[in-house]
Amino acid sequence: MKTALKTSNPVRLVTDCLVIAVAAKNKFSAEAKEIDIASGKRLARVLENGDFDGSLGTSLMLQGLEGVKAKRVLLVGCGDKAKLSLKEARKLLVSIAKSLLSSQAKDAHLALASLALAGADHYWLAERLAQELEDASYSYSTTKSTKAKASALKSISLAAPKGTSKAKIDTAFANGVATGRGINCAKELGNLPGNICTPTYLAQQAIDLAKGNRTLTVKVLSEKQMARLGMGSLLSVSAGSSQEAQLIVMEYKGAKVKPKADRPAPHMLVGKGITFDTGGISLKAGAAMDEMKFDMCGAASVIGTMAAVVEMALPIDIVAIVAAAENMPSGKATKPGDVVTSMSGLTIEILNTDAEGRLVLCDALTYGERYKPASVIDVATLTGAAVATFGSHVSAMLSNDDALAAELSDCGSASLDQVWQLPLHDEYQHLLDSNFADIANIGGPRAGTITAACFLSRFTKKFKWAHLDIAGSAWNSGAAKGATGRPVSLLLEYLRRKAA
């Protein structure tokens, strides 16, 4: 999609669709006033019939408005506040994106120069518009006989206040497109069925991403290689499956380094990639088990983030590790009560084979020590307790570093992909005590999200680390069933700040 900054008078602008804002109680923006005057008060008369009241997120498409060169005029409601918060602005942009994509308009112009934002500017508006357009354009059809039709919309332009930099607007649009594509990449991987999106398939996606790109290299460790490294915890999860586990390591070197200078410590992402989770011998209930294809959404978000990083060409070094496996019951599967040895040397009593995510993540985290990372963020659909606590709106966050946690919380607010910190207090650690190993893989029925993070914390003592439990936010159930692509935008916000 082509993007541009245009400052033309909205009345004289030739476009398939002109977008203008109307506040609550039909209060016109500056651009809407110009359109109303040019059309002989036609706009005011249309609004008087009560079909549109300017409330936040509403829209009304008008065809053939006299005195205006645009074929269509899309009225969008921006509510009754003098300034829109970021959440309100997002709701406005989502409404615009859906209306434009469902229309037959080939190009559109957003005459929103007078729109007031709280805590943001029109560069943010341009980036978020591009992101929401990409996000809204996604429709899953890979395994359907009839494929989704592409939207007619091919170009979009934005009006902004005087003094706005065209170069910065272009960059903002490009970053928004990259973020949206990263989100859609994560959604597509999450939505694919488990018989297609296997651990090997995930590895191939990472390999394909690196093709033709000098800044990104990918290596994939086989089960034999993992066994030689002592990854008994990760391999205990895949033991019952005919699908081989894969440890996918993506190294992105974008930092600008002077000749002979040492490279900076990389920032690290680690994703849980359980491509299907039956629970293993601790078999899950049959109801909604189909949704366990989404148990690799942590891995999907890491791969989607890396795709966007490559597209943005961020000047930063990043290592992304995906621990991919399938959790199945069979005669070879790990049993409750088995004791396995992790790569770190800690032994683990597996009391529940359905608490498998932490078993693959702990070995991936230990493997990551060799990179001496500046920070580590793991992303996982880890616990039902996180769903019970936060629903689908907020992701749980736990960390061994308060400054990192505060930064991620701020990034979540800025990206509108929010997290909420839970305590990682030592008082919870004893719940993981075992009579037969160094640690048990579950901590009992209480504080499940916290004890899962306590388990992982045993393997993160050598670096600053945060854990994002996205079990509630990674996908939607019901009629809108599908992956959300979260927390790609949050991860990108964090990495972009580190690259600045």
The answer to the question of whether 272 is labelled as a binding residue is yes
51, two tokens: 């079909």
Q: End of a domain among 137, 170, 190? A: 137
pLDDT of residue 398: 98
Q: Is residue 482 part of a domain?
A: yes
Q: Is residue 167 part of a domain?
A: no
Q: Give yes or no for residue 46 having a pLDDT over 90.
A: no
What number is the average pLDDT over the span 32-55?
90
Residue 390: half-sphere exposure toward Cβ, Cα within 13 Å: 22
**How far is residue 442 from each of residues 173, 272, 348, 436, measured CA to CA in Å?**
45, 17, 10, 14
Q: Is residue 164 part of a domain?
A: no
pLDDT of residue 482: 98
Question: What is the Cα–Cα distance from 29 to 22, expressed in whole angstroms?
Answer: 6
**How far is residue 414 from each of residues 21, 117, 407, 452, measured CA to CA in Å?**
23, 13, 11, 27
Other C-beta atoms within 10 Å of 322: how many? 30
- Same domain? For 130 and 186 the reply is no
pLDDT (tens digit, 9 = 90+) per residue, 212-245?
Answer: 999 999 999 999 999 999 999 999 999 999 999 9
Cβ(356)–Cβ(382) under 8 Å? no
- Same domain? For 251 and 132 the reply is no
Question: What is the Cα–Cα distance from 396 to 419, expressed in whole angstroms?
Answer: 6
pLDDT of residue 457: 98
Catalytic, 446? Answer no
CATH number for the domain including 277?
A: 3.40.630.10
Catalytic, 284? Answer yes
- Same domain? For 259 and 339 the reply is yes
The answer to the question of whether 464 is labelled as a binding residue is no
Question: What is the Cα–Cα distance from 173 to 155, expressed in whole angstroms?
Answer: 12
Question: What is the Cα–Cα distance from 465 to 402, expressed in whole angstroms?
Answer: 10
- Where residue 180 falls among pLDDT bands split at 50, 70, 90? very high
Question: What is the Cα–Cα distance from 466 to 460, expressed in whole angstroms?
Answer: 9
Q: End of a domain among 84, 102, 137? A: 137
Q: Is residue 142 part of a domain?
A: no
- What one-character DSSP code corresponds to residue 233? H
| C-alpha of 149 from chain center | 24
The answer to the question of whether 66 is labelled as a binding residue is no
pLDDT of residue 217: 98
Cβ(199)–Cβ(322) under 8 Å? no
Question: What is the Cα–Cα distance from 223 to 226, expressed in whole angstroms?
Answer: 5
- Same domain? For 109 and 234 the reply is no
Question: What is the Cα–Cα distance from 276 to 195, expressed in whole angstroms?
Answer: 9
What number is the average pLDDT over the span 307-320?
98
CATH number for the domain including 44?
A: 3.40.220.10
**How far is residue 294 from each of residues 134, 215, 374, 472, measured CA to CA in Å?**
21, 29, 29, 11
- Same domain? For 107 and 242 the reply is no
- Same domain? For 331 and 475 the reply is yes
pLDDT of residue 353: 98
The answer to the question of whether 208 is labelled as a binding residue is no
- 288 Cβ neighbours under 8 A, 6+ residues apart: 477
pLDDT (tens digit, 9 = 90+) per residue, 353-405?
Answer: 999 999 999 999 999 999 999 999 999 999 999 999 999 999 999 999 999 99
- Same domain? For 239 and 303 the reply is yes
- Same domain? For 251 and 338 the reply is yes
Q: End of a domain among 79, 105, 137? A: 137
pLDDT of residue 1: 80
Q: Is residue 161 part of a domain?
A: no
Q: Is residue 143 part of a domain?
A: no
Q: Is residue 477 part of a domain?
A: yes
pLDDT of residue 81: 82
pLDDT (tens digit, 9 = 90+) per residue, 258-286?
Answer: 988 999 999 999 999 999 999 999 999 99
Question: What is the Cα–Cα distance from 120 to 161, expressed in whole angstroms?
Answer: 13
The answer to the question of whether 369 is labelled as a binding residue is no
- Same domain? For 212 and 327 the reply is yes
What number is the average pLDDT over the span 402-414?
98
Catalytic residue among 91, 128, 293, 358: 358
Instruction: Provide the percentage of residues in the chain whose pLDDT is more than 90.
Output: 93
Expressed as residue numbers, the domain containing 412 is: 182-499
Cβ(229)–Cβ(236) under 8 Å? no
How many structural domains comprise the chain?
Answer: 2
- Same domain? For 235 and 337 the reply is yes
Question: What is the Cα–Cα distance from 296 to 292, expressed in whole angstroms?
Answer: 8
pLDDT (tens digit, 9 = 90+) per residue, 113-159?
Answer: 999 999 899 999 999 999 999 999 999 999 999 998 889 999 999 99
**Which of 315, 25, 34, 6 lies closest to 170 in space, CA to CA?**
6
- Same domain? For 112 and 212 the reply is no
Q: Of residues 294 and 43, which shows the higher confidence score? A: 294
- Same domain? For 316 and 407 the reply is yes
pLDDT (tens digit, 9 = 90+) per residue, 158-171?
Answer: 999 999 999 999 99
Q: Is residue 55 part of a domain?
A: yes
Question: What is the Cα–Cα distance from 134 to 93, expressed in whole angstroms?
Answer: 12
Cβ(134)–Cβ(181) under 8 Å? yes
* Average pLDDT across the chain, whole number: 96
Question: What is the Cα–Cα distance from 185 to 180, expressed in whole angstroms?
Answer: 9
